[in-house]
Structure 1
Amino acid sequence: MKKFSFIVMLLALMLFIAACGSDEESTSGGEGSGTEGGENKTYQVGIDTTYPPFEYEVDGEYTGIDIDLINAIAENQGFDIEFNPMDFGGIIPALQAGQLDIAIAGMSITDERKEIVDFSDPYFDAGLTLVVQSDNSEITSLEDLEGKTVAVKSGTTGAQFARDNEEEYGYEIAQFEDSPSMFQEVSNGNADVLLEDYPVIAYAIAESGLELKTVGDRLTGDQYGIAVLKGENAEVLEKINAGLQELRDSGEYDEILNKYISE
């Protein structure tokens, strides 16, 4: 009888342990970088904080057009975000590695990038421009670049444009990991010209007093988009597009742009 009671108690203990394990598994988070926070899902967002007026840091706080825009979209659509600052060139690889869910970094929509990521509707019209020292009168177009050194930022459409046209115009390319280093290279005369998106360099010259100027016509008609890994996160991409449209309709989109860029 005692032996029978012991067996019953042992079976009951085993069932209790199994039930506890099942409960723990049911409350554990799933795979992927997005995590549940209450009713809202938290998405990991890749940014490049060396890219004012779109993304930069002031007193330890992230600010800029992209920051305000994705915050407003998240609030409008009821999800949470967590920013992950990194070099621009590392953002798409981080999406591929599953470390990020969303990328917003003044990223131009290109056919090459579309092979890897899905883009939102365009949210900003940009375009590359040539930038030289403020007293430079020799360079006004691509035709003036033979034998010159062109500074570009790694992983950008400016870098791609420079590579695509290097042979035709006969210049050398110097690559940098961040915009300030690239600006400084031209300011101090180590490079002759740089390629940068017009709104970015116009803001930098106005706000930082750089001894630089833009020359010639815009070289491209780039548009910026918010990216997710191709074939993944269709749900959040749909929310991003819906939120972006609602911000446009309400006028909040224009308010965000006007906060940083004066037309």
Structure 2
Amino acid sequence: MKNMKKVISTLLCAALAAATMTGCGSSQSRLDKIKESGKLVLATSPDFAPLEFENISSGETEYVGCDIELAKYIAEKLGVELEIQAMDFSAVQAAITSGQADIAIAGFAKTPEREESMGLTTPFGMDDEDNGQGLLVPADKASEYTSAEDFSGKTVGAQNGSLQQNLVTSQLPEDVNVEPIGSLNDGVLMLQTGKIDALASDGSNAKLLMENYDDIALCDFMFEWESEGNVAAVKKGEDELLEAVNEIIEEVNEQGLYLEWKAEATELAKSLGIEANE
């Protein structure tokens, strides 16, 4: 009987030890899981040249741009492969908070709302020319919009969850109707067909779009905004991953790599017939 009790006791200890080990495994950090899987999953919205856009010149879709180069560099430094998941901008943040992706790089500006729901990295690209945040309108109506009040009662398009959406809701009159859009190209089409009266956009991207579409223009009114560079995002609480990515981004900033990648991406965009701001 004593031997039987000893056997049972031993089995229970073994089971407890196994459960403990399993528990430890389930509490692996995101960084450990990335290294174990051998891949870093990136969420991005490839409609924002020269940051992230599509190159289909070879007959296959390739995701390119300075943000993509940054993601490749981060993956290389972590010793893993990069897996790119392309999606609408509105889905990028959800991909991080839900754990679908490991990191998001998609022209993210640092905002209080994003800081609450995600872990944000050290800014990068701070030396880029800041073209501000503004609104595209039909070219023949550009002179009609010189102040925030001129948008009263109008319908303004903005990408869902974007900095531009926040600026529209916080700096334009309360009676403005905010229309969510999937991509800036969708927004331009809606602007051209009269479904929206204005389209909120980063100033640099707005200038790019104006070069491609001569029937739209930036109005004189600009949002109050001072750029601090863009950031990448990881799931909230994944401090080990955030620290590792920050170390890599600091290296990128010190060497001026991001601006080099942006210059190269700009030239590539132009060669593909996609005008990009330098």
Using the size of structure 2 for normalisation, the TM-score is 0.73
The answer to whether the Cα contact below 8 Å between 1:56 and 1:63 also exists between their aligned partners in 2 is yes
The match for 1:34 is 34
CA drift at 1:167 = 4.1
Q: Does 1:142 align with 2:143?
A: no
Structure 1 residue runs of 4 or more that deviate by more than 6 Å after TM superposition: 29-33
CA drift at 1:83 = 0.8
Following the alignment from structure 1 to structure 2, what is the Cα–Cα distance between the partners of residues 230 and 53? Answer: 28
Matched position secondary structure for 1:72:
helix
Matched position secondary structure for 1:51:
coil
1:211–1:124 Cα change, 3 Å? farther
Q: Does 1:53 align with 2:57?
A: no
1:167–1:95 Cα change, 3 Å? same
1:252–1:224 Cα change, 3 Å? closer
The answer to whether the Cα contact below 8 Å between 2:149 and 2:173 also exists between their aligned partners in 1 is no
Using the size of structure 1 for normalisation, the TM-score is 0.77
Alignment of 1:237-256 (within 5 A): 237-256=242-261
CA drift at 1:166 = 4.8
Following the alignment from structure 1 to structure 2, what is the Cα–Cα distance between the partners of residues 95 and 262? Answer: 29
Question: How many percent of aligned residue pairs carry the same amino acid?
Answer: 29
The answer to whether the Cα contact below 8 Å between 2:125 and 2:253 also exists between their aligned partners in 1 is no
Following the alignment from structure 1 to structure 2, what is the Cα–Cα distance between the partners of residues 180 and 123? Answer: 25
CA drift at 1:202 = 2.0
What are the superposed Cα offsets for residues 125-183 of structure 1, whole Å, 9 maximum, x if unpaired?
Answer: 56421211222221133121122221111121211222234544x32222212221111
Matched position secondary structure for 1:95:
helix
Following the alignment from structure 1 to structure 2, what is the Cα–Cα distance between the partners of residues 166 and 214? Answer: 16
The match for 2:7 is none
CA drift at 1:262 = 4.7
CA drift at 1:66 = 1.0
Matched position secondary structure for 2:243:
helix
The match for 1:194 is 199
The answer to whether the Cα contact below 8 Å between 2:107 and 2:231 also exists between their aligned partners in 1 is yes
The match for 1:118 is 119
Gap regions ≥5 residues in structure 1: 1-21
Q: Does 1:100 align with 2:136?
A: no
The answer to whether the Cα contact below 8 Å between 1:77 and 1:243 also exists between their aligned partners in 2 is no
Matched position secondary structure for 2:225:
coil
Following the alignment from structure 1 to structure 2, what is the Cα–Cα distance between the partners of residues 225 and 213? Answer: 28
Gap regions ≥5 residues in structure 2: 1-17, 267-275
The letter for the 1-side match of 2:83 is E
What are the superposed Cα offsets for residues 2-46 of structure 1, whole Å, 9 maximum, x if unpaired?
Answer: xxxxxxxxxxxxxxxxxxxx9xx99xx977673635xxx412111
Count how many residue pairs are aligned between Structure 1 and Structure 2. Answer: 232
Q: Does 1:153 align with 2:156?
A: no
What are the superposed Cα offsets for residues 207-227 of structure 1, whole Å, 9 maximum, x if unpaired?
Answer: x33522222334322442100
The answer to whether the Cα contact below 8 Å between 1:148 and 1:171 also exists between their aligned partners in 2 is yes
Q: Does 1:211 align with 2:215?
A: yes
The letter for the 1-side match of 2:55 is V
The match for 1:4 is none
Alignment of 1:126-137 (within 5 A): 127-136=132-141, 137=143
CA drift at 1:118 = 1.0
Following the alignment from structure 1 to structure 2, what is the Cα–Cα distance between the partners of residues 87 and 121? Answer: 24
The answer to whether the Cα contact below 8 Å between 1:149 and 1:172 also exists between their aligned partners in 2 is yes
Aligned mate of 1:172, from 172, 177, 191: 177
Following the alignment from structure 2 to structure 1, what is the Cα–Cα distance between the partners of residues 102 and 195? Answer: 38
The answer to whether the Cα contact below 8 Å between 1:187 and 1:210 also exists between their aligned partners in 2 is no
Following the alignment from structure 1 to structure 2, what is the Cα–Cα distance between the partners of residues 192 and 134? Answer: 11
Following the alignment from structure 1 to structure 2, what is the Cα–Cα distance between the partners of residues 113 and 95? Answer: 11
The match for 1:67 is 68
Q: Does 1:228 align with 2:234?
A: yes
The answer to whether the Cα contact below 8 Å between 2:105 and 2:232 also exists between their aligned partners in 1 is yes
What are the superposed Cα offsets for residues 37-76 of structure 1, whole Å, 9 maximum, x if unpaired?
Answer: 5xxx412111112222221212100012211222123334
